[in-house]
């Protein structure tokens, strides 16, 4: 299965995404932002980074890259697409996913191992999980606050389109929690603790944390990220 990974000016995690696809058993294919060809791939990953320096808004310029002129209609037609961090921002700017990403409410960059709960295990990128699974993957961003109006939030909640939610640490019961500046709250101010969402069809998923940094023992906080990539491989086979 060929999984395309798009490189934009400022992409940082495209090589990591390539490796995640390969470790999962897929064939990673490089896609260039300035080329409108998807090279007949079976799915696409929009990786993390700071495309075009995050000028205007994160993802706002990348949304108009030549590759997106092909990717947007392909995604609307059912092509599986995963947006990670900056990729999530691009998907929101492209209106492939609802809502928007703005600066973290504490106005600082964050990098930490982050616990999430899987809220939707029926998408092309989450089918190897079980709803309610708790996973830990890397979070690193400065524009990671997910926002939307109340109507949109109620709609995606009601339709089961919240894919991942930040898990909030409870009362201070250990030193690891007591000295965590984000204990009792999510790490970036995202509305309703939303860490990732999906479209109605379930082929497009975006999230702020980075599954590609949690695929190998000894590198990253867990192996939880690998299931994103094995999920899409199985989804392509079954489609």
Q: Show Cβ contacts of residue 121 under 8 Å, excluding neighbours closer than 6 positions.
A: 127, 129, 130, 131, 133
Which residues 6+ apart lie within 8 Å of 211 measured at CB? 20, 84, 137, 224, 225, 226, 227, 228, 229
pLDDT at 170: 55
Least confident of 9-13, 45-49, 235-239: 235-239
Residue 177: predicted pLDDT: 47
Q: Active-site residues: which are they?
A: 85, 210, 212
How confident is the model over 100-114, as pLDDT tens digits?
999 999 999 999 999
Handedness of CA 9, 11, 16, 19 (dihedral sign): negative
Instruction: Look at the block and give the residue holding tokens 């192996």.
Output: 223
Domain that holds residue 52: 2-238
pLDDT of residue 180: 66
Q: What pLDDT, on the 0 to 100 scale, is given for residue 143?
A: 93
pTM: 0.93
CA distance 90 to 56: 12
Question: What pLDDT, in 10s, does the model give residues 170-204?
Answer: 554 445 444 567 777 899 999 999 999 999 999 99
Q: In sequence order, which ranges of the chain are alpha helices (DSSP H)?
A: 14-24, 66-76, 86-93, 150-158, 175-178, 226-238
How many structural domains is the chain composed of? 1
93: its two tokens? 């700017």
Is 138 within 8 Å of 221 (Cβ atoms)?
Answer: yes
Q: What is the pLDDT of residue 168?
A: 87
Q: What is the mean pLDDT of residues 198-227?
A: 97
| Mean pLDDT calculated for residue range 141-156 | 96
Count H helices, E strands: the chain?
Answer: 6, 11
Q: What is the mean pLDDT of the chain?
A: 93
What share of the chain has pLDDT > 70, as a percent? 95
As a whole number of angstroms, the distance between CA 81 and CA 74 comes to: 9
- List the CATH number of the domain containing 64: 3.40.50.880
């Amino acid at each position: 299965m060929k999984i395309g990974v798009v490189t934009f000016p400022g992409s940082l995690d495209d090589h990591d995404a390539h490796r995640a696809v390969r470790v999962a058993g897929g064939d990673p294919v490089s896609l260039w932002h300035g080329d409108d060809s998807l090279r007949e791939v079976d799915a696409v990953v929009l990786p993390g980074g700071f495309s075009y320096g995050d000028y205007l808004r994160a993802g706002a310029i990348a949304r108009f890259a030549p590759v997106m002129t092909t990717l947007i209609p392909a995604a609307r037609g059912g092509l599986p697409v995963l947006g990670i961090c900056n990729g999530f921002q691009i998907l929101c700017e492209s209106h492939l996913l609802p809502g928007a990403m703005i600066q973290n409410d504490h106005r600082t960059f964050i990098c930490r191992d982050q616990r999430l709960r899987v809220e939707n295990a029926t998408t092309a990128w989450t089918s190897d999980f079980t709803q309610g699974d708790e996973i830990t993957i890397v979070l690193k961003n400065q524009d990671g606050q997910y926002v939307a109006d109340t109507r949109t939030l109620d709609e995606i909640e009601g339709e089961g389109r919240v894919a991942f939610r930040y898990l909030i640490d409870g009362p201070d019961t250990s030193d690891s929690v007591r000295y965590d500046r984000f204990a009792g709250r999510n790490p970036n101010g995202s509305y309703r603790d939303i860490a990732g969402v999906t479209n109605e069809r379930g082929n497009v998923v975006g999230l702020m944390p980075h599954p590609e940094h949690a695929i190998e023992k000894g590198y990253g906080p867990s192996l939880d990220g690998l299931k994103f990539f094995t999920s899409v491989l199985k989804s392509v086979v079954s489609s």
